[in-house]
Amino acid sequence: MKRTANAHWSGDLKTGKGDISTASGVLDKTQYSFSTRFEEGKGTNPEELLAAAHAGCFTMALSGQLGGAGLTAESLQTECTITLEKLSDGWAITESYLDLKAKVPGASEEAFATAVKNAETGCPVSKLYKTKITVNYKLEN
C-alpha cells in the first residue's frame, strides 16, 4: 500500500508560499507558509499534519488492541501535540505528546494500560518517529 501527497512552493523561505494536496483530495491546495509554521498564520504546517497522523494512527491501533482483548471502545478521543524546537544543530521535533480520553465499558485499568502501551509502540507512525513519545490517558468505564 502506498499513499501520496505533494507540495508546491514559490518564493523564498520567509515570504514565499506553498500548498499541499493529497491524492484522496482531503487536502486540496491547502496553504502553508513560514507564518503558518513558525507564527500564527492561516493554513497548515508539517508539524500539524504529523500530529494528525499520529493521533489517528495511535487511536486506530488502540481500537485494534482493545478488540484483541475482547473490549470495544465507546469513545476514544486523542489529541496529539508535536513539539518543534530550535536546538544547537537546528530545528528538531523533540516530542509527540498524546492525550487520550477513553470510554471503554468493562475495561480494567491494567488491561487498558497494556492496550495503550501496545498501541503506542505498535502504531506505524510511532515507529516512524525518532523522538520522545508520551501518552497521558484518562479511562472512564
95 and 119 assigned to the same domain:
yes
Give the total number of structural domains in the chain.
Answer: 2
Which tens digit of pLDDT belongs to each residue from 52-99? Answer: 999 999 999 999 999 999 999 999 999 999 999 999 999 999 999 999
Q: How far apart are CA 15 and CA 34, in angstroms?
A: 7
- Whole-prediction pTM: 0.92
14 and 79 assigned to the same domain:
no
69 and 94 assigned to the same domain:
yes
Which tens digit of pLDDT belongs to each residue from 22-58? Answer: 999 999 999 999 999 988 878 899 999 999 999 999 9
Cell of 119: 498501541
97 and 133 assigned to the same domain:
yes
Domain range enclosing 12: 5-38
87 and 109 assigned to the same domain:
yes
Distances (CA, A) of 59 to 9, 43, 117, 140: 32, 25, 12, 16
Q: How far apart are CA 23 and CA 1, in angstroms?
A: 13
50 and 119 assigned to the same domain:
yes
